[in-house]
Structures are given as C-alpha cells and as structure tokens.
Chain A
Amino acid sequence: MATVVERPPGSGRWPSLVPYVVLAVGTLPIAVLYAWLLYSSFFLRVEGFTPIGPFTLENWRFLWDPLSVPELRNRPPIIPLTINTFIFATVTSLVGVLISSMAGYAFSRLRFKGRRMMLGGVLLLHSFPSVTLLIALFVVLRTLGLYDKLAGVILVQTAFALPFGIWIMKGFFDNVPWDLEMSALVDGAGRLRTWWRIMLPLVKPGLLALTVLLFVEGWNQFLLPFVFMPSGSQQTLSTLVRGILGEGRFVDYGLLTAVGLYYIAPVLALFVFAQDQLMRIYAGGVKG
C-alpha cells in the first residue's frame, strides 16, 4: 500500500486551471457554510453575513465560565462530557472494527454455507430505516436485560455499523495476496492465528480508516444512548448540542455555533491527522 502515491494522472495535458476552477466552484458552498459557522460564533447575532453588534468571545465563554451560560447551568461541565463522548466513540469503534474485520475476513477467504445469501443480506439490511426499529430494539434489549446499560447501546451501535464495516473489510482482505496467508497456513498456524498475525497487519490502512469512520459515528451518535441508556443520557456532547437547540423555542444560536464548533473540532483534528488513512478506505473490488 505504501507504494501508492498521489499523482495527477496526465498532468499537463488538461488546461491546468480547469480542474481547480471546477473544484473551487463546487466546493464553495461547503466552504461558505463552515466559514459562516466559525464567523458567527464570534458575534451575538448575524443576519446573512452582517454581524449585529461587535466582535465578542461571549459565545465561547462556556469554555471558561460555564456557570454564566444559562443553558449550561444545570449540566455536567463540558470537559467530562468530552471525555465521556470520547470513551463511547472509542469503545464502539474498536468493537465495530474487530467484529467487522473478523466477518470481513470470513466473507473474503472462507467458503461456507449461506455465504452468498448472507453477504447480500448484510447489504440489504441497510435498507431498513434503523430508527423505526427503535421499539423492536427496545423489546430485544429489555428481554436481554441490556436496557439502560451502556453495553446494550454499544452492541446496537455496532450492529448498525456492521453492514458498512463488513463490506469495507471484505474489500481489503480481497486485495491481500493469497501467498502470505497460505505459507502461514502451510506452516501449521491456525486460521485465527493467521488472521491475527498475518492478515490484520496487512489490512492496517483499512482498519485505521474504518476506526476513524466508526469513531466519528460514535462521536455524533445521539439517539441510541439517549433512548436506551436513560440513566447516563445527559453524559454526551450530542445531548448537550441537542439540548441547546431545544424545541426551536429560545435557542441561543451564538452559543450553538460555538458549542457546535467545539463538538466538531476533535473529529476534524482526527480527520486532518488521518486523511491519508481515510482515503484508503476502499481497497476492494479492484479485480484486475
């Protein structure tokens, strides 16, 4: 994988400015939206692009003086919330990656009854609007005694992530040459050992990319912890953001933009850090 370098295929043949212009125009809406988000977090009110009132750090005061923000007065401080959210996202992404890579490996390398059907089925399951399963999920969780347990939430979150995770990991295993694995098997190593020792290191880019994506999903998850873990539901950043948003009644939008940015920042940092890994998320399907 390390040999793959970014290259402009056919550089110098297209008028070189055209792709830049097309990209820039297409990207403009995104850039404007996020620039606006950043910009309006420094003013109490913004109409269009025009700030009403002077530049202020008022919206950001939740960082150093949370008690002066009415919306935050009865909530846990933001740092522990951030840590909790981090723990939740980390655990869900690790569990998800582990299980996806096991199943992905099996789909890629093993032959077993019902393989085709299961592989197709996993993808089709994705067509079920997961939110409408909430009540049925509740029945299941309650039956298993997992309602109001973090474990229940994590398992559900993982299950929802599996269709994507399995397909992505299968793609990576598909791409690993058979030789390396074969020699390990011939040497008498078991499948499990081969998978762990030989295969996983080879699909590291996939593992990293999937971890990042699942982490982001866990980081942004609101509904599942909220509904299925009532006793700890005030404990994530997503609840805080939803709380500030309220029922559209009296929303302090300045505060919301600032907290929203704070909420995005770690994921953004993670992403900038991991862009190269993420851009290798799909290695499968290149069947020469």
Chain B
Amino acid sequence: MARTEAIALPRERQGAAWWRTNATALLFMGPAMVLVLVFFLAPVVITFVMSFTDLATSTGLSNWQWIGSANYERMFRSQFWFTILGNTLVYVAIVLAFNVVVGLGVALLSLHVEPKAGGVFRALWLLPRISPSVVYALMWTWAAASPPFGMLNYIVAPFGLEPRFWLQSDPWLIVILINGFVGASFGMLILTSAIKAIPEDLFRAARVDGANALQIVRRITLPLVKWPILFVLVYQTMSLFASYEYILLTTNGGPGLYGTETWSVWAFHTALANYYGNLDFAYGAAMSAILVLLGLGISIVLLRVFRFGQLVAEPRVEVD
C-alpha cells in the first residue's frame, strides 16, 4: 500500500498521539471489552475457581467449602476418563475433517455449477445450521430409529444391509453425521463467501492461460482461501471441543459405558443435566477446566502450525 505517507498528516506530538490512539481504541473496544470481561472472562475465572470447591445444588451458593483438588482426583479416579478423552479426540478429529473437507467441497462445487442450481444446493446445506437443534436432532434420531420406524433402514435395504437400530449399533456414525453436516454448513458458508470475494480477473487470466478447473482450484482458489480455511479449522476445533448438544439429543453419551460420551457431554451431564436434580457444579467446572486446557493446547498448536501471527498482524494502516 503506497499510502503510508498520508498517515503522517494528522500526527501530533508523540505522547498525545499515543494517548489519542488508545483512547479511540478504548471507545471502539469498550462495549465489546466490557461484555467479554463481564459475561465471558469473569465467568471463566469463576468457573476455574469453583472447580476447587464442593459447590453443588446440595450446598447452594452459601454452604460450599474449599476442597482443594478433590474434584480433579475424583475425575481421574473414574474408570472412564480415558475412554471419554479418547472419544473426544476421535470425535473432534473426524468431525473437523468432515466439516472442512465437505464444507470446502460444497463451496467449490456449488460455485462451479450453474448459479441458480448452486444457490439451491447451498440453501439446502445451510438448513442444518439454521434449524433449531431440537428439530434437527429429531430428524436424525428418527432416521436412525429402530426397525420398523427408522428411515435409514429403508434407504440401505436395497444394498442388502440388515435393518438395525443405528443409534445403538453405529452410534458414532450418527454422531459424526449429525455434527458433520452442521459444521460443514458453517464451513461452506465461510468458504463460499471467501471464494466469491476472489477477484474475477485472476480466474479469467488463468483460463486464458489454459488452466483447467482443477488447476485453477489448486493454484488460485486454495492459496487464496488459506486464511478462511484456517479460520474455519481453528474456530471449529474449539466449537467441537465445547459442543455437546447434538450428542445429548441423540445418543446422550451412550450406549452403555460412555460409548459416545465426550468430555463436554460429560461436563454437561455432571454440571447441568443430572436426572435427579442434584447438580455437581464444581465437579462439572473441574471437567470444563480440563476441557479448556485441552482445547487451548490444541488450538495453540494449530495456530503455531499455521502461523497465526500473520492473521493477527498489525493493521496495515497507521504504520509510522
């Protein structure tokens, strides 16, 4: 950008300028900062602190005590923490791959076909994202229901598959599909718009040079949507670590011994969904804390690998 010299114009004395920039930033950032601090960061800190207490419905907010690391010990005393951790990693990895690959695929393909048809396909792919979770989950649980109720059995029958209760026989398949489509919806949305924002000239030039569609995708589209792909990747990683709702509404962590229970479903079950009403807030908070560390660790690795530094690079403007 050849405009840097223009920036020198309104500059005043160094100190005052510093103050002015920060004051302006404060003005713009203020509302968001307050909201994030008060309704996001403070609760996160409270939750961490809470994980060292015995806070539960049965203590209330007035009768709790500090119990040190007892919640963490209890968590790792369970025979199932390792199973659940494994579930979580498998779940995040597979669904994430589904999200990004399918999302990108649909974005590319839907832009490749006739605009009208592409619009229709994209509309259908957005449906999972915009439907209320209970309705969306209802459709899946119904599809996967036991014979003779489930639709899936009728669809696979011509391929010679025995009718079965999919939610129980293949719980992971259903969990991955239900989450996969929602996430792919998100990926498709972001990536479609990113591809659409690529200047048409670049494609035209490539076509003039005789590149075929695959070459164009590989040489032009993909490099140019690297950042949005990274954004989807990181954002979805964290979404998936934190996600619980569709598992809760379909397999509910079953069948049997924590078959599809992920760490956040475990935390939710403990802290918020006890069938008999005694919610173990503090124990659930300890689980959330572990989950956050896990999510943070993996996100930081991802960001390192993909050189996040450039993504948060200083604004090009106001370079002096």
Contacts and interface: CB of A to CB of B under 8 A. Distances in A.
A63 interface: no
B243 to A, nearest CB: 8
B247 interface: no
Contacts of B46: 136, 139-140
Nearest to B154: A48
A123 interface: yes
Interface string A115-131: 11011101111111111
Contacts of A116: 312, 314
Nearest to A137: B43
A53 interface: no
A126 B234 CA distance: 10
Nearest to B163: A48
- Majority SS of interface residues in chain A? helix
Contacts of B226: 285
B29 A102 contact: yes
Interface in B7-35: 7, 9-10, 21-22, 24-29, 31-33, 35
Contacts of B123: 271-272, 275
A282 B28 contact: no
A103 B142 contact: no
Given A7-B203, A127-B242, A136-B42, A178 B31 contact: no
Contacts of B171: none
Interface stretch (B71-79, B253-261, B265-273): B265-273
Given A102-B31, A133-B47, A264-B132, A279 B213 contact: no
Given A127-B292, A159-B35, A281-B189, A103 B272 contact: no
A267 B292 contact: no
Contacts of A26: 102, 105-106
Interface residues on A, range: 35 or more
Given A4-B200, A48-B151, A282-B194, A123 B238 contact: yes
Nearest to B215: A10
A116 B310 CA distance: 10
B288 A48 contact: no
Contacts of B90: none
A279 B196 contact: yes
Given A124-B299, A136-B47, A129 B114 contact: no
B223 to A, nearest CB: 10
Contacts of A275: 119, 122-123, 126
Please give me the 10 A-B residue pairs with the lowest Cβ-Cβ distance, nearest first.
A285-B227, A127-B295, A10-B213, A136-B43, A103-B32, A112-B25, A159-B39, A106-B28, A127-B238, A136-B46
